[in-house]
Amino acid sequence: MSKNTEHECDGISVGLVEKKLYTFAEPPNELTLASGARLGPISVAYETMGTLNDDKSNVILIAHALSGDSHVAGYYSAADPKPGWWNTMVGPGKGIDTDRYFVICSNVLGSCMGTTGPSSTNPATGRPYGLDFPMVTIGDMVKVQKALLDHLGIGKLLAVIGGSIGGMQVLEWAISYPETITAAILLATTTRHSALAIAFNEIGRQAIMSDPNFNKGDYYSGPKPDLGLALARMVGHVTYLSDEVMRSKFGRRLQDRDNLAFDFEANFQVESYLRHQGSKFVQRFDANSFLYITKAADYFDVGQQHGNDSEVEAFAKVKAKILVISFTSDWLYPTYQSRDMVNAMKKNGLDVSFCEIEAKCGHDAFLLPNERQSTLINRFLDRVSEEEKHDAL
């Protein structure tokens, strides 16, 4: 690891990391998706950190949420002002300790952060896919991750870890590849979207598709549907927070003024904050990717897809040790959904640990510094590692 004097590194951060690319499914060997469509070639962006041990038994795969990417921790350069999205959790001596574990994080299929998605070039036309990109599922995303691991020569994972939509990927791993993973860590996630979650996603999609610049998804050579995407992000961001954190952070405080302006500008701080979040998002994310990934999340249903409408039957395939963590203020994926998941797992006699963490920050709590979450994950990984060593003797 290079010494980086501009930010915290040795003992605190993994330091400098590099985004890598693996391409597979070249025609005529395209990947068959859940929809029946065939897609190829597929490029997948990924990053690794830590050291792979001799028997490759210390590998942890981290699955990201909706707008995440492969840049889970560390920095791209000495001048990089911002670390990876989970830098507080991944690194030397942290909850996911890169002094002990070899960590992999890849960008999901359908995204716009290096992995093939609707903004990628369609080899049949030489232009971006747009809405010609096939619909993808959480299962398709995991198939791509499995292909990457096969390429890296990794046949067994110590753990797969993910929150939100990342947690859905972890569930898919545990059910579809039970022999491949030893442990699964699920954070702020669900086995299927509620009507409420689907409704918020649909509002976001309609905001994008109603933008005058959407042009049926073919906007890459002209103005982009920035207003629609910004609005979608604003709606989504509200679901990631909680009433308590919004009340304490904003209340009804005015933005840069002492009195109401009697206009439609951002009079309140919370209005200004949401507009800022929307404008930041359009600078880094693709509107079509938002459509595809939210739809994949809405389609996800463990019981329907793996257990004849029974989650208990679906979890009968699982062999991994499991840690489930929920958060008290998460109203997007509330704790009752985690409890239902855990109950279905326990009916199969699975080794399941569950904890609800007191947190004020809403659904985003799993992404924020939290000593209890870090300790739970660290100790769970310790236990799994020790039991694996014991079983190998």
Residues with catalytic roles: 164, 330, 363
- Classify residue 222 by its DSSP letter: S
Phi, psi of 323 (to 5 degrees): -120, 125
Cβ–Cβ < 8 Å for 345, 322 = yes
Burial (Cβ within 10 Å: 0-12, 13-18, ≥19) of residue 375: exposed
Phi, psi of 318 (to 5 degrees): -80, 140
Give the chain's length. 393
As beta bridge partners, residue 336 has none
Rounded CA gap, 296 and 233, in Å?
Answer: 17
Rounded CA gap, 87 and 81, in Å?
Answer: 13
As beta bridge partners, residue 63 has 162
Tokens 């920050």 sit on residue: 361
Q: Which of 84, 22, 342, 293 is nearest to 190 (CA)?
A: 342
Rounded CA gap, 150 and 69, in Å?
Answer: 20
Count of C-beta atoms within a 10 Å radius of residue 11: 10
Tokens 């490759």 sit on residue: 56
β pairing state of 20-24 and 42-49: antiparallel
Q: Which of 43, 50, 100, 99 is nearest to 72 (CA)?
A: 50
Rounded CA gap, 11 and 243, in Å?
Answer: 36
CA torsion, points 83, 11, 169, 219, in degrees to nearest 10? 10
Cβ–Cβ < 8 Å for 230, 224 = no
